[in-house]
Amino acid sequence: MRTNRTRVLYVEDDRASMLLMRHLFRKKFPEVVLLEAETSERGIELAQSCGPSLILMDIVLPGADGYEGLDRLRNLQETAGIPVWAISALAMEEDVQKALEAGFIRYIRKPLNVEDFARGIQTFFDEKNQGCLP
């Protein structure tokens, strides 16, 4: 399933959030393949088989939550080095600190500020020297 195209995995159980992210990536980053999973378990499977450049993970998920998902990703050889950003409606400063201390690289609050989020994604790929984004 691996290709030469850049992939971002979004692990999210909320349909409206998923639709927003699909629209955002189609409009702002059409050359990026957006992979989707509704649970941490499915996200881990996709991360292992597809090797995304970045994982965006909701904190509140059915089954294993985002923290458990992150822990499992960190303990698998194939996924240990993939950066994972938390995306959550949990917006208190202690929620942000807890996520960053757990190992999430960034914490994005919902509702998304679409322009700020898109700039953050662009910066991430610029810093990774992916060369595939405008």
Cα–Cα distance between 124 and 22 in angstroms, integer? 18
Residue type, 61: L
Q: How large is the average pLDDT for residues 4-22?
A: 94
Q: What angle do CA 61, 67, 20 make, to 5 degrees?
A: 45
Q: Does residue 84 contact residue 57 with C-beta atoms inside 8 Å?
A: yes
Q: What is this structure's pTM?
A: 0.92
Give the domains, in start order, of the chain with CATH numbers. Answer: 7-127 (3.40.50.2300)
- Looking at residue 116, its pLDDT comes to 95
- Looking at residue 5, its pLDDT comes to 80
Residue type, 130: Q
Which tens digit of pLDDT belongs to each residue from 22-72?
Answer: 999 999 999 999 999 999 999 999 999 999 999 999 999 999 999 999 999
- Looking at residue 128, its pLDDT comes to 80
- Looking at residue 132, its pLDDT comes to 47
